[in-house]
Amino acid sequence: MSAVEQVREALTNGLAEADLPGLVAAARLPNGETVEVSVGVRGVDNPAPLTTDTLFWMASCTKALTSVAALQLVEDGRVGLDDPVGRWLPQLAAPKVLKGFDAAEKPILETATQPITLRRLLTHTSGFAYAFCSTPLTRYYAAAGEAAAQGVAPDPVLVFEPGQGWQYGIGIDWAGKLIEAVSGESFDAYMRRRVFAPLGMDDSGFFLNDDQRARLASMHARTPDGSLAPMPFGMPPEPYFGMGGGGLYSNPSQYLRFLDSMLGRGPQLLKTAHLEALCASTIEGAEIGVLKSIQANTSNTFDPFPDAAKAWTLGFLANLAPGPNGRAAGSLAWAGLSNCYYWIDRASGAAGVMCAQFLPFADPRALAAFGAFERAVYAA
């Protein structure tokens, strides 16, 4: 059986077992071969076949690209990893830390004593969080009102002192804002010029034209009975900020070009020293990369390597022991809220990305399909 046939079989079986309308995946095999496969249709409300040029909301798969863009500015000498970013982003010069709540459920806020740096933004050690995996932040939003929840409050709120913990959050959205402030360009324009264009990712971006919108996969929500229902969804149009933490539209074929670059294939976005810095472990622990969801309609609890030591680099999650489906220790990975997943195995030269389009994140059956896809890549 050819590599394409093995991957197609894995996706087709995963599609049926997860009761999904469609899946698209692309991979770089250890032997250097490229595999791109699409199965199923664009949505339960759209019977058009999925194709390899169908576009997906990539959600947090955006983060690694933004991290690379930030490191380009470090490489250019325009910002330092350990520079306080309040120099360019006044809102982050003296952020508030949520210390608790009083008897009336009013938030207790104190000015942070440690600076927010670019390194802390990229490694999720800045104190920023997402509400779907932070009970304190959810309580804060309930008390502070809608403006705070939408991120337009005058004082961004942290859930711990910068540098004093790991919490998945909006830090890389702020890294995108830093890229704008340092470069003098809009985030979207910078990414097109210095990331997407060099890689040939000409069908990827933060704002869709009419042709791209016509090629979107439908977004879905998993219902209580396990089936999928279509749900309205779309990132805000221009001139809204492009969201370095989760605003990208792309597809596996396009995204594989980025994964290839991280493998050292094709155009390189960073010089060797900064590429190695991007991929090196910065903070380790069994809790790293674990999302403890408190919003079941948004995400399931996610532990990509249960009970195993993991690390966060400046752009990725790293597994410190070999993975169960083939990837070597030290491989890099992450995912997107819409059930998009990828990995990069620099030891073997393999990489892969698989996209679905539904909530909640970390769907067990979608993860099983991704595992089968990974095994097929290494078996090919």
Q: Report DSSP letters for 324-365, one per residue.
A: TTSPPTT-EEEEETTTEEEEEETTTTEEEEEE--EESBS-HH
In a domain, 344, yes or no: yes
In a domain, 359, yes or no: yes
Which residue carries 């490191």 as its tokens? 71
State the total domains in the chain. 1
SS3 73: helix
pLDDT at 308: 87
Supply the range of the domain harboring residue 334.
3-57+216-379
What is the distance between the alpha carbons of residues 302 and 167, in angstroms, rounded to a whole number?
13
What is the distance between the alpha carbons of residues 82 and 92, in angstroms, rounded to a whole number?
14
Q: Which H helix or E strand runs over 177?
A: helix 171-183
CATH number of residue 337's parent domain? 3.40.710.10
Could you give phi then psi for residue 366, rounded to 5 degrees? -70, -40
In a domain, 358, yes or no: yes
In a domain, 285, yes or no: yes
In a domain, 292, yes or no: yes
Which residue carries 């083939």 as its tokens? 326
What is the distance between the alpha carbons of residues 232 and 220, in angstroms, rounded to a whole number?
8
Annotated catalytic residues are 60, 63, 168
What is the distance between the alpha carbons of residues 127 and 159, in angstroms, rounded to a whole number?
5
| Residues of the chain below pLDDT 50 | 152-153, 239
pLDDT at 242: 61
SS3 38: strand
In a domain, 329, yes or no: yes
pLDDT at 152: 43
Which residue spans within the chain are E strands per DSSP? 22-28, 34-43, 46-49, 56-59, 96-101, 107-111, 157-158, 220-222, 228-230, 248-250, 283-285, 310-312, 317-319, 332-336, 340-345, 350-355, 358-359
pTM of the model: 0.96
What is the distance between the alpha carbons of residues 312 and 240, in angstroms, rounded to a whole number?
29
Cα 43 to its chain centre, rounded Å, is 22
Cα 100 to its chain centre, rounded Å, is 29
In a domain, 138, yes or no: no
In a domain, 112, yes or no: no
